[in-house]
Each structure stands twice: as structure tokens, then as C-alpha cells.
Amino acid sequence: MPELLDAAIQRPNFVTFILLLLAGLYICVSHPNLIKKLIGLYLVQNSVIFYFVTISAKEGATVPVLLDPTRPVQAEAFVNPLPHVLTLTAIVVQVATLGVSLGIVSAINKRFGSFDEEAILEKLQ
């Protein structure tokens, strides 16, 4: 147990990632308000992006642009661009998901006049 705690303290980013993920999941499950559920979903998605950024961070490295082609390339001086591109794509995908989900929620609100899941279920009965 002390080793686990020690390992956790040395990796604040991973702890943050897990807290964000769990908080998001909890909000998804516990809140009856549809918009708040979406916020929870967004937190979960962002925690994964945060994880991607964490694993691709590199101290003392710079953007992968080769300024002087005559000198040999020092791989350790540059950041791997791929995870950042993945992050960017994942954010775009999330925005699309958020767009569709807000569209559906606004249609629900127009039809049932409420954002509350329990109230909507009562009206459906």
C-alpha cells in the first residue's frame, strides 16, 4: 500500500486523469438532468485526451520542424507529433458528438418541455 501511494504521488497527471474520468462517469450516472449528463460525458472524453497529452509530453523538446537540413537529426530534441494530431482529431470527434447530442436534447426539450429525465419519463407514461 505505501508503495502504491508513493507511485501515485509521483504521477500527479495520472491521478488527475483518473479523478476526471471517475467524476465524469459519476455525473453521467447520477444526474437526472440531460445537460448535466452531457457535461459528465464531456469530462470522461476530456480525461482520455488529458491522458494522451500526458503520455506524449517530453521535457526540453521542441516542435518537430527541421530548421537546418545539413545537420544530423537529433530525435530526442523533438516532440513526437503523432499523439498531438490524435488529440486534435479526438477533440474534433468529440465536438461532433456534442453537436449531435445537443441537437437531440434540444429536440427533447421542445417536445417534452423539460431537461429532467424523470419528468420526461412521467410524461411518456
The residue from 16, 23, 28, 114 that contacts other proteins (CB under 8 A) is 28
Cell of 100: 449531435
**For other proteins, the closer CB: 79 or 105:** 105
27 binds other proteins (CB under 8 A): no
Residue type at 85 in one-letter notation: V
* Smallest distance, other proteins to C-beta of residue 67, A: 22
> The dihedral of CA 21, 26, 29, 35: what is its sign?
negative
The residue from 19, 22, 39, 104 that contacts other proteins (CB under 8 A) is 104
Greatest CA separation found in the chain? 74
* Smallest distance, other proteins to C-beta of residue 96, A: 6
41 binds other proteins (CB under 8 A): yes
The residue from 13, 22, 100, 118 that contacts other proteins (CB under 8 A) is 100
Single out the residue of 34, 16, 41 nearest to residue 114, CA to CA. Answer: 34
* Smallest distance, other proteins to C-beta of residue 30, A: 13
φ, ψ (nearest 5 deg) of residue 78: -120, 155
**Angle formed at CA 57 by CA 52 and CA 59, multiple of 5 degrees:** 170
